């Protein structure tokens, strides 16, 4: 079908009547301005679209995000890869969500399904939804709407509320200090002192640390925004020890360096294996390294730092995220309440005032009176006093 101002539109039919009906409907849609060329959406499958997304869009993101998206794409390809983009409906996406949450794709030794974490499913749906958005905006795929936008996302669930007790902290620090590589103990202590993420600590280079000013400049962060982290005296001393380590090689400027890899280049120090072992041996299996960041941020708040100051140190963009990562101990709040009560009353506690203030029976008024001699006298009646002015 040809129409002035439009590219040629073609479609094959077995019956002439069907072709004529299609031509009339298409021409009518063009005239009304609602025509959508669905040919590309009918031909392109989800598998082809995801593969194109991984080849064109994913490489523009950070390395860690690239690895994550390739992992999230595998179940999408397995369950939805054979469908065309036009055949993907909200109900189909919702069915995929429910199956993943129920854990039907994996089972334990007894054959029972193992539910998948809600946040994992949320990230898979986010990848699928962004792929559809790119296809509609940049690839010329005509779809009425993004099917993922009309699907309810799984709830992310409550944030972690894991705090270290004094006994746990003591046993943890003792265990990491006994490790053969002192860098593990320095990294754990720096996390508790500064609230930096593990990836931010192990990728630090010598030029990012200014010990004279006692600051660390982070260039690559989780939220892509550089930030400057102040160092306590303890943290600065830890970096001095790391800088003066006797085994420091001359072929890298990493503060916490690892062994040379297959290509002969040194990468950051990796400690995940020994970290898991130490946790298990000390009864801290439920402790995540990221919990040390939670602990540090909470200690900042307990020390009297404002939300803005905590956000500047931790790098959180919103105050809501600061509150999520801040967990105050109830026993500390009890102490603060007692201190507040003592400030109000150094004796036995707050008193109730029962003495009433005296009331005035005569209201406060003012009036102007003109005397008989023609001069203007102003008589002002105030509470408890009367003043006469003569003008």
Q: Active site includes 61?
A: no
Catalytic residue among 97, 293, 294, 299: 293
Question: What pLDDT is recorded for position 382?
Answer: 47
Catalytic residue, candidates 222, 243, 280, 362: 222
197 is an active site residue: yes
Residue 293 falls in the annotated catalytic set:
yes
Per-position pLDDT tens, the chain of length 391: 677 776 677 777 788 888 888 788 877 777 776 666 677 778 889 999 999 999 999 999 888 889 999 999 999 999 999 999 989 999 999 999 999 999 877 877 888 888 888 989 999 999 999 999 999 899 888 888 899 999 999 887 777 778 888 999 999 999 999 999 999 999 999 999 999 999 999 999 999 999 999 999 988 787 778 889 999 999 999 999 999 988 888 888 899 998 887 787 888 999 999 999 999 999 998 999 999 998 998 888 888 888 888 888 888 877 777 776 666 666 666 777 877 777 766 555 555 444 455 555 455 544 444 454 544 444 444 444 444 454 4
pLDDT at 357: 52
Please identify which of the residues 189, 299, 316, 327 carries the catalytic annotation. Answer: 316
> What is the predicted pLDDT for the residue at 345?
63
The catalytically annotated residue of 197, 227, 299, 327 is: 197
pLDDT given for residue 327 in this prediction: 60
Contact 205, 254 (CB under 8 A): yes
pTM for the full predicted model: 0.67
Gap between the Cα atoms of 28 and 32, Å rounded = 6
Question: Is 381 in the active site?
Answer: no
pLDDT at 208: 92
Q: Which of 96, 189, 325, 327 is catalytic?
A: 325
pLDDT for 379: 46
Cβ(241)–Cβ(186) below 8 Å: yes
Torsional sign, CA 349, 352, 355, 360: positive
Q: Which residues are CB-neighbours of 218 under 8 A, at least 6 positions away?
A: 196, 200, 208, 226, 227, 228, 229, 315
* pLDDT value, residue 125: 95
pLDDT of residue 381: 47
Q: Exposed/middle/buried for 79, CB within 10 Å: 0-12, 13-18, 19+?
A: middle
Catalytic hit among 122, 290, 323, 381: 290
């Amino acid at each position: 079908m040809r129409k002035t101002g439009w590219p040629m539109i073609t479609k094959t039919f077995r019956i002439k009547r069907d072709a004529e009906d299609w031509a009339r409907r298409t021409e009518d849609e063009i005239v009304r301005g609602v025509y959508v060329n669905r040919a590309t959406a009918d031909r392109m499958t989800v598998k082809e679209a995801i593969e194109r997304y991984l080849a064109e869009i994913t490489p523009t993101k950070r390395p860690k995000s690239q690895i994550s998206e390739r992992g999230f794409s595998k179940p999408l390809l397995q369950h939805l890869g054979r469908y065309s983009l036009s055949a993907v409906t909200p109900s189909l996406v919702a069915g995929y969500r429910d199956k993943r949450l129920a854990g039907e794709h994996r089972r334990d030794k007894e054959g029972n399904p193992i539910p998948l974490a809600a946040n994992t499913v949320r990230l898979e749906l986010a990848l699928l939804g962004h792929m559809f958005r790119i296809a509609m905006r940049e690839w010329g795929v005509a779809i009425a709407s993004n099917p993922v936008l009309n699907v309810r996302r799984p709830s992310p669930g409550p944030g972690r509320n894991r705090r270290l007790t004094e006994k746990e902290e003591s046993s943890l620090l003792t265990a990491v200090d006994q490790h053969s590589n002192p860098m593990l103990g320095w990294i754990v202590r720096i996390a508790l002192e500064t609230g930096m993420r593990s990836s931010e600590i192990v990728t630090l280079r010598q030029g990012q640390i200014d010990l004279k000013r006692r600051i660390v400049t982070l260039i690559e962060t989780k939220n892509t925004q550089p930030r400057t982290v102040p160092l306590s005296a303890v943290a600065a001393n830890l970096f001095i020890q790391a800088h003066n380590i006797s085994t420091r090689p001359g072929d890298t400027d990493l503060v916490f360096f690892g062994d040379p890899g297959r290509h002969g280049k040194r990468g950051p120090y990796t400690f995940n294996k020994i970290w898991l072992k130490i946790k298990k041996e000390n009864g801290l299996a439920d402790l995540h390294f990221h919990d040390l960041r939670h602990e540090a941020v909470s200690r900042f708040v307990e020390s009297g730092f404002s939300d803005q100051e905590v956000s500047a140190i931790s790098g959180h963009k919103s105050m809501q995220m600061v509150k999520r990562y801040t967990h105050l101990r109830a026993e500390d709040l009890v102490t603060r309440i007692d201190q507040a009560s003592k400030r109000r009353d150094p004796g036995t506690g707050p008193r109730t005032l029962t003495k009433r203030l005296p009331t005035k029976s005569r209201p406060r008024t003012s009036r102007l009176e003109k005397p008989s001699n023609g001069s203007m006298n102003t008589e002002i009646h105030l509470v408890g006093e009367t003043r006469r002015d003569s003008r």
